[in-house]
Amino acid sequence: MSMGTHQRESGVLAFMLVAISVAFGWIMWPFAGAILWGVLLSIIFAPLYRLLLTWMPRWPNAASAATVLLIALLVVLPMTLVAAVLVQEVSGLVGRLQSGELDVRQPLADVRTSLPEWAANLLTQFETTGIAALRDKFSTAFMEGGKLVARQILSFGQVTVEFLLGVFVMLYLLFYLLRDGNALLTYSQRAIPLPPEQRQVLASSFTDTVRGVLKGDLVVGLVQGSLGGLIFWVLGLGTPVLWGAVMAVLSLLPAFGTGLVWAPAGIYLLLTGSVWKGLILLAFGTLVISTIDNVLRPALVGKDVKMPSYVVLVSTLGGLAVFGVNGFVIGPLLAALFLTAWEMYLQTGGGQQDGASP
């Protein structure tokens, strides 16, 4: 066979490979989120599957099925229930906003009445210099966002069907990923045109980042959000699940994080006469919610990959903006692979060209 014929056949094969891969990705795209979380959960719960497999070495199907059942009971079901309650709270909040029962400007008026005269006059002066316009713009944006959420809630039936179908696909795929994970990893690594040691570095970076993000950022965020929602519920403050969800997201922010919710709420309670509630909320936020990160993260993440906090924050926010909720993990994963790929490039001599002699 001539060299030209061989190159032509290789080109045809490469074109077919790309075309078929794009077509396959296109038909699988509706379940991209389910596939992603199936892969992520298989990485996180692989140690549990291996533990169960040591107890029943002759029944890998049973070990995988038991792991999937535990994931469904301990992770999927609680998250589904919380999401349902969150939708109810958001729906009620949007209804109160649209009916005029809830005015987002009322808290500022309540604070003004409780301030000393000189402070109230200062606040009024600030309002006359542009704060009022900013407040009105915020109110308008809040109402528009509420209408958008309301439209999403009206189609909640369809979303529920899609969600349940996605959960089924995720759990079904998870069963096979747990059982055949090692074989699938070996097969996928062969498709990467890199030396074996570099393929191993990329695979390790991927799995370590998944464990670091999910076991660190996600679990810590859920715990902090749960504690924040709990104290809001105990103190009788409105929509505790919603504020808990907000605190879970804000836990990604270094230094401030969840304090952006519980600190203003505690100060507001103090200024409006609910002194004990305000003191309890501020004390609980300072001593419990804010310190849980220092206790849980080292124990959960351990030796897993650690990126600078600013890289994690920016990549997470960028991932959320581009990919939605799945970007919570996709963003840091892409950042970790980006850093790993450049580190490999520099180690192989790519960064030594500037110092080379002409």
Q: How many CA atoms lie within 13 A of 347 on its CB side?
A: 9
Distance, CA of 113 to CA of 123 (rounded, Å): 11
Percent of the chain with pLDDT over 70: 68
The encoded tokens of residue 269 equal 């309670």
The encoded tokens of residue 93 equal 């909040």
For 10-58, what is each residue's pLDDT tens digit?
A: 677 777 888 888 888 888 888 888 888 888 888 888 888 889 988 888 8
What is the pLDDT at residue 270?
82
What is the pLDDT at residue 24?
83
List the chain residues with pLDDT less than 70.
1-10, 94-160, 187, 189, 191-194, 253-255, 297-309, 349-358
Distance, CA of 227 to CA of 221 (rounded, Å): 10
State pTM to two decimals. 0.68
What is the pLDDT at residue 175?
92
Contact 110, 272 (CB under 8 A): yes
For 277-321, what is each residue's pLDDT tens digit?
A: 889 999 998 888 888 877 776 666 555 556 666 777 788 778 877
What is the pLDDT at residue 353?
47
Task: List Cα–Cα distances, 353 to 11, 248, 338, 348, 358, in angstroms.
Answer: 32, 45, 21, 11, 9
- How many CB atoms sit inside 10 A of residue 19's CB? 10
Map the chain to HEC letters.
CCHHHHHHHHHHHHHHHHHHHHHHHHHHHHHHHHHHHHHHHHHHCHHHHHHHHHHCCCCHHHHHHHHHHHHHHHHHHHHHHHHHHHHHHHHHHHHHHHHCCCCCCHHHHHHHHHCCHHHHHHHHHHHHHHHHHHHHHHHHHHHHHHHHHHHHHHCHHHHHHHHHHHHHHHHHHHHHHHHCHHHHHHHHHHCCCCCHHHHHHHHHHHHHHHHHHHHHHHHHHHHHHHHHHHHHHHCCCCCHHHHHHHHHHHCCCCCCCCHHHHHHHHHHHHHCCCHHHHHHHHHHHHHHHCCHHHHHHHHHHCCCCCCCHHHHHHHHHHHHHHHHHHHHHHHHHHHHHHHHHHHHHHHCCHHHHHHCCC
